[in-house]
Chain A
Amino acid sequence: KQEVTQIPAALSVPEGENLVLNCSFTDSAIYNLQWFRQDPGKGLTSLLLIQSSQREQTSGRLNASLDKSSGRSTLYIAASQPGDSATYLCAVRGYSGAGSYQLTFGKGTKLSVIP
């Protein structure tokens, strides 16, 4: 069964710093990996989706990489801002049999960017 781990569970950085969030997964047979952002009491907003054949995706100040063979992904946030404060979730989509696909989530990294 797929397991997704995110380290660290919480991170506090001063504004302007670059930072890296880590995600690891146990089963490398994935279709894609997705990074989400969740604000307190709110839904999930998709940030980046990396297909299994890709190595990285970029959107603005965000860059996500994927090393499928080693079961790792990183989310790099450049020049962090207080508005980046949120919980970041990593999710992998894998085949769960009978033509279906399942999304397995990590428990998230809670990021606080201090002004």
Chain B
Amino acid sequence: EAQVTQNPRYLITVTGKKLTVTCSQNMNHEYMSWYRQDPGLGLRQIYYSMNVEVTDKGDVPEGYKVSRKEKRNFPLILESPSPNQTSLYFCASSPSAGEDTQYFGPGTRLTVL
């Protein structure tokens, strides 16, 4: 089944404890991205990747890192999480960066205490 998977789905952590949220797609898509969704603010792009080893900042990149060493995986890293990073995170992929439908993962609900 073609899909985007994220792990974990739910995570509660404490301030400053490094964490990684994994994202994987099995559709051989070139383009992958991360979003966060907050009440009243909607979905905002954190980082995106147009292909392996090519990443760039979205609208809200502060406090996050990403890497794209393989085409299928695009992990989101929080080196020192803070409470303002408590949010619902979505990974998405599409065949290319331009005109294609984006496919979203199920989301990761992160709480930073």
User: Residues of A at under 8 Å CB distance from B?
Assistant: 31-32, 34, 36, 41-46, 49, 51, 89, 91, 93, 98-103, 105-108
Chain A neighbourhood of B107, CB < 8 A: 41-43
| Cα separation A80 to B29 with both chains bound (whole Å) | 34
New A-B pairs, 18, CB < 8 Å, besides A36-B104, A93-B98:
A31-B98, A41-B107, A43-B107, A44-B90, A45-B104, A46-B101, A49-B100, A49-B101, A51-B99, A91-B43, A98-B56, A99-B50, A99-B97, A100-B50, A102-B58, A103-B92, A105-B44, A106-B42
Question: In chain B, what residue has the closest Cβ to A106?
Answer: B42
Across the A-B interface, how many residue pairs have beta carbons closer than 8 Å?
A: 58
When distances are taken between beta carbons in the complex, the residues of chain A under 8 Å from B109 are 41
**B83–chain A nearest beta-carbon distance, Å:** 21
